[in-house]
Structure 1
Amino acid sequence: MKNTRRNFIRTSAAFTAAVGIGTTMPSAFSMITDKPKKKIRIGAIGINGMGWADLNAILKHPDTECTALCDVDKNVLDKRIKELAGRGIKVKGYGNYKDLLASKDVDAVVIGTPDHWHCLQMIDACAAGKDVYVEKPLGNSITECEAMVKAGRKYDRIVQVGQWQRSQKHFRDAVGFVHSGKLGEIRLVKAWAYQGWMKSIPVKPDSPVPDGVDYDSWLGPAEKRPFNPNRFHFEFRWFWDYAGGLMTDWGVHMLDYALLGMKATTPKSIMASGGKFAYPDDAAETPDTLTTVFEFDDFNVQWEHANGIDGGPYGRNHGVAFIGNKGTLVVNRDGWEVIPEKDRMEAVPFQKKVDDGLDLHAANFIEAVQKRDKSLLNCPVEAGAHIAVFSQMGNIAYRTGKKIYWDEAKKNFHDGEADKLITASYHNGYAIPAL
């Protein structure tokens, strides 16, 4: 079960499959040639937030076209159809994603629905013969992630997970510097998201379902509850029925690079402490303040998040810091730098980002689809599952209030309370398909 940098060399092949990060950095449209290609017809499911952003990034590629949109909120669906029409793009609208998947006019789908829907929709899309670009986190439970990996392999589909930082040059350069050994022995990696924009979510009463919203379909496998605006659209992130709070919202991004930098896979143990310290009486369920420690043999990875505060470590509201004996490398979405430990090494001045990660990630997906080559993907389903499971472990440690130990062979914690949280609780007749 132990995974350290020392034994990493012996398991590098397995790690490469899990993390799925390449060694080259193509430009967004480097794969484009003068030879005409058949356009890849894209359908998008869940188009209110990141699903819409993902779709638009994919449509920048000249070999793509959008043919279908789906959303359970007709207000959103009609708005997006109108926006595309204004750009000369005519699409068909669907309220049920299975009708979109049945369309012969769709080759690949974008899944931008709330987290609790990712698993079923991704598996159904693969079974329908569609390639998939699915938003992060891949799944809303450890069991879901495992099933999604099986589905991608069983149906032999191209599946990219929307962790677009994996396609950015400056993040890759930062990891390359970490791997160079110039920082000396690294004993601690910090990853964090301090979100000053996150204010209190005031408690609101249940209310009638808004006109045009198919609320039963929105709930899907989640527990049946009266409609409440606090749980709908963007705010779903802060309720355990649908998501995992900042740990799985931002943690999958930052912790992903923490693990890539350390060539780390499974932690020995996980413990977490936090709570609703900033807004104890608001509507959210997930913690607004959290510290989580993932223990490995010779280093720790520490996650921190805090709502309502921007003053994070090293003066950054998000990032990853690799703290070595000779210096510390700090990287976030703006760039990276190395801060020397006294006179033990030379500083590396701030290296600013030079590209658009989302556009690159979308182009990477299209290239893999065109060439039918999963090895080209910067974040294949195995990599998305790896970091989603890792983040879920942090949430399970928090929710149980225990130090927990993962048994990789048996896929459990040997703790009844923690093991109950490995599998998402499905309701309303839904179940993860047998694969």
Structure 2
Amino acid sequence: MNRKDFLKASAIFAASSMYSGAHAFTLQNGKIRVGAIGVNGMGWSNLNALLKDDKVVCTALCDVDENVLQKRSDELAQRGITVKRYVDYKELLRDNVVDAVIIATPDHWHTLQMVDAVNAGKHVYVEKPIGNSIKECEVMVAAAQRNKSIVQVGQWQRSQKHFRDAIDFVHSGKLGKIRQVKAWSYVGWKKTISNKPDAPIPAGVHYDKWLGPAQSRPFNPNRFHFEFRWFWDYAGGLMTDWGVHMLDYALLGMKVSDPISIMASGGKFADPNGAAETPDTLTAVYQFDDFNIQWEHALGLDLGPYNRTHGVAFIGNNGTLVLDRGGWEVISEKDKGITVPLKKSSDNGLEKHMVNFVDAIVKKDASMLNAPIEAGAHIAAFSQMGNIAYRTGKKLFWDKKYRKFTDREANKYLVSEYHNGYKLPNV
């Protein structure tokens, strides 16, 4: 890739954007008012990291599980923070009590909520993967650009120093010709889920608001809260849950965007009779002009490549750089002498990511963002390609000009199906 092509590609996945936020916001005691939509898991972590910035105040929480909503509002009250509570995110957006929102709901809700938020004049921090289909990602980018909103994606590793230092080393050329890049996630602490019968909707849960555009089904505990990510209706399993983190750095390191082809193989090998739909074991191979990027994941196992539970490895003729959340190192090929001892992480990526988000809002400049919506959309779509190759059982070829596959069956997976009267936003 020459410099001109790289600069064009970097508009997709580098920390830049071609628009700047023009929204005015009202300060409460000199602070940006923030509301969180979805506060059971990562949304709560995001909010707490954001509240460490003294330019921010939390004014609202929203969750379709009133048990969670009560718990989180009580915890904030103990810290002297009083918030308004909602079970319908649209009421939060209409009430004009926030300038920016955190969206940390299940993946199948991200697009609708993000588009509604920017249409309402809010800036957004949206969890990854930003969408549950390639088309959803495209819609979200268009909505952010049309509204000139500041939209940061929850790929907080982009704000960590050691990740950037590692990529600088990759770009130095010292590894020699890189022929293979490996990215992976082995999640030993999370076992497969056994089958459970349908059950009554728990008290306080607004199940219709949880389902939203997903197919109507009886309530089942396997599909609720954390476990939603193992079902195609709501998410894409480990391929999209962790793939967006590690594959993002594979692309950044190699200065590429769109693959030539994708193939994948795997299945429910750990528990063929388990309740999950997404594969617990998967390998996907993305072909580029003169190298491959390989993704692999496994639930219930910890011993991934290089004895790491997750990471990305750039395998060059001179040596291999191995990078994960703990740090990076270089393992030299025989007689090449480029060994670099482990350089450990020295900062809190999530907190730095939130500082970056707030600074971009204050300065009304989306070009400051470390993980802009374009970057989040691109890597979410890239990860979706691996799932689509797995679901079709075919080697797929990608037409980057028309943003689709050359295979008709595969193109059916480009757009999520919407149900219950919901429609994909037309932006």
TM-score (norm 1): 0.94
Q: Does 1:356 find its partner at 2:348?
A: yes
- Once the two structures are superposed, residues 204-263 of structure 1 have per-residue CA deviations (whole angstroms, 9 ceiling, x without a partner) of 000010000000010000000000000000000000000000000001000000000000
CA distance in 2, matches of 1:324, 1:21: 26
Question: Of 34, 42, 63, which residue of structure 2 is paired with 1:50?
Answer: 42
* TM-fit CA distance, 1:197: 1.0
Secondary structure, aligned partner of 1:405 = strand
Q: Does 1:156 find its partner at 2:143?
A: no
Q: What pairs with 1:6-45 in structure 2 (closer than 5 Å)?
A: 6-7=1-2, 9-21=3-15, 38-45=30-37
Query: Partner residue of 1:372?
Result: 364
Q: Is the 8 A contact 1:149 1:381 kept in 2?
A: yes
Q: Does 1:294 find its partner at 2:272?
A: no
CA distance in 1, matches of 2:30, 2:120: 20
CA distance in 1, matches of 2:192, 2:307: 23
Q: Does 1:212 find its partner at 2:204?
A: yes
Output the amino acid matched with 1:144: E
RMSD: 1.1
CA distance in 2, matches of 1:10, 1:115: 35
Secondary structure, aligned partner of 2:215 = coil
Q: Is the 8 A contact 1:248 1:392 kept in 2?
A: yes
CA distance in 2, matches of 1:37, 1:368: 19
Output the amino acid matched with 2:61: L
Q: Does 1:331 find its partner at 2:323?
A: yes
> 191-200 or 92-101: which moved more?
191-200
Q: Is the 8 A contact 1:256 1:387 kept in 2?
A: yes
Q: Is the 8 A contact 1:322 1:328 kept in 2?
A: yes
Output the amino acid matched with 1:303: W
Output the amino acid matched with 2:344: K
Q: Is the 8 A contact 1:189 1:322 kept in 2?
A: yes
Query: Partner residue of 1:241?
Result: 233
Query: Partner residue of 2:265?
Result: 273
Query: Partner residue of 1:165?
Result: 157
Query: Partner residue of 2:218?
Result: 226
Q: Does 1:384 find its partner at 2:371?
A: no
| CA spacing shift, 1:38–1:396, aligned 2, 3 Å | same
Query: Partner residue of 2:22?
Result: none
Output the amino acid matched with 2:145: R
Q: What pairs with 1:291-330 in structure 2 (closer than 5 Å)?
A: 291-330=283-322
Q: Is the 8 A contact 2:192 2:280 kept in 1?
A: no
- Once the two structures are superposed, residues 85-108 of structure 1 have per-residue CA deviations (whole angstroms, 9 ceiling, x without a partner) of 000000000010000011222000
CA distance in 1, matches of 2:15, 2:249: 11
Query: Partner residue of 2:59?
Result: 67
Secondary structure, aligned partner of 1:178 = helix
Q: Is the 8 A contact 1:188 1:324 kept in 2?
A: yes
CA distance in 2, matches of 1:205, 1:430: 27
Secondary structure, aligned partner of 1:306 = strand
CA distance in 2, matches of 1:104, 1:412: 39
Output the amino acid matched with 2:12: A
Output the amino acid matched with 1:410: Y
CA distance in 2, matches of 1:37, 1:208: 45
Secondary structure, aligned partner of 1:303 = strand
Output the amino acid matched with 1:267: P
CA distance in 2, matches of 1:200, 1:393: 23
Q: Is the 8 A contact 2:269 2:280 kept in 1?
A: yes
Q: Is the 8 A contact 2:240 2:384 kept in 1?
A: yes
Query: Partner residue of 2:390?
Result: 398
Output the amino acid matched with 1:21: A
Q: What pairs with 1:100-179 in structure 2 (closer than 5 Å)?
A: 100-179=92-171
* TM-fit CA distance, 1:406: 1.1
Q: Does 1:180 find its partner at 2:181?
A: no
CA distance in 2, matches of 1:217, 1:332: 37
CA distance in 2, matches of 1:342, 1:433: 55
- Once the two structures are superposed, residues 74-124 of structure 1 have per-residue CA deviations (whole angstroms, 9 ceiling, x without a partner) of 000000000000000000000100000112220000000000000000000
* TM-fit CA distance, 1:202: 1.1
Q: Is the 8 A contact 2:302 2:308 kept in 1?
A: yes
What is the total number of aligned residue pairs between the two structures? 416
CA distance in 1, matches of 2:342, 2:87: 47
Sequence identity percentage: 67
> 10-19 or 283-292: which moved more?
10-19
* TM-fit CA distance, 1:336: 0.3
CA distance in 1, matches of 2:67, 2:386: 36
* TM-fit CA distance, 1:37: 8.5
Query: Partner residue of 1:28?
Result: none
TM-score (norm 2): 0.96
| CA spacing shift, 1:325–1:225, aligned 2, 3 Å | same
Secondary structure, aligned partner of 1:222 = coil
Q: Is the 8 A contact 1:20 1:377 kept in 2?
A: no
- Once the two structures are superposed, residues 11-36 of structure 1 have per-residue CA deviations (whole angstroms, 9 ceiling, x without a partner) of 233222211337xxxxxxxxxxxxx9
**Greater than 4 Å deviation, 4+ residue runs:** none
Secondary structure, aligned partner of 2:352 = helix
- Once the two structures are superposed, residues 255-278 of structure 1 have per-residue CA deviations (whole angstroms, 9 ceiling, x without a partner) of 000000000100000000000001
Secondary structure, aligned partner of 1:121 = helix
Output the amino acid matched with 1:299: F
Q: Is the 8 A contact 1:20 1:375 kept in 2?
A: no
Secondary structure, aligned partner of 1:224 = coil
Q: Is the 8 A contact 2:318 2:338 kept in 1?
A: no
* TM-fit CA distance, 1:129: 0.1
| CA spacing shift, 1:171–1:37, aligned 2, 3 Å | farther
Q: Is the 8 A contact 1:37 1:63 kept in 2?
A: no
